[in-house]
Amino acid sequence: MEWSSWHAAIVAPQWLYAVVEAGPGNGVFVTYSSATTNNFERRYPNNQVWQVAPRTTSVSQDLEAGRWVGRQVGKPYNNDFAGDIRRTDKFYCSQLVWAAYYYSCGFDLDLTRYNTFGTWRIHPKEIYDADTALIYRKK
């Protein structure tokens, strides 16, 4: 049986070459790369890395989503995947990306696939499947 996993992160424009992500043990944290070193590719050498962006947001909205997520750095990790994504006191990876767009510019990346029993939840694949454009892909 083959298992696949997804992870979501978002660029934070307030720092050069910075990506903000949420993970167990780290909470919300910044990963830095450089013009010559892509830390995502280094950390996930056997995985695909895709960069997507919403098709209907403006550049200023994308920047504001990135700035919003940068202000969340240091918050704890949310391991309650069945809980409501609208909380902002702690985050899991796709919840963080969803919240950045939802709270900064009202853009909703949630396709409601995993919403059950009155709660909102989001999987990283929903972000890819939402109305997004593929910008970069490393196979």
pLDDT at 45 over 90: no
DSSP calls for 3-51: ------EEE-TTSTTEEEEEETTTEEEEEE--SS--HHHHHSTTS-EEE
Give pLDDT, residue 2.
Answer: 46
This prediction's pTM:
0.87
Question: Residues 83-112: what's their mean pLDDT?
Answer: 91
pLDDT at 67 over 90: yes
Separation between Cα atoms, residue 89 and residue 75, nearest integer Å? 7
* Residue-wise pLDDT tens digits, 74-83: 999 999 888 8
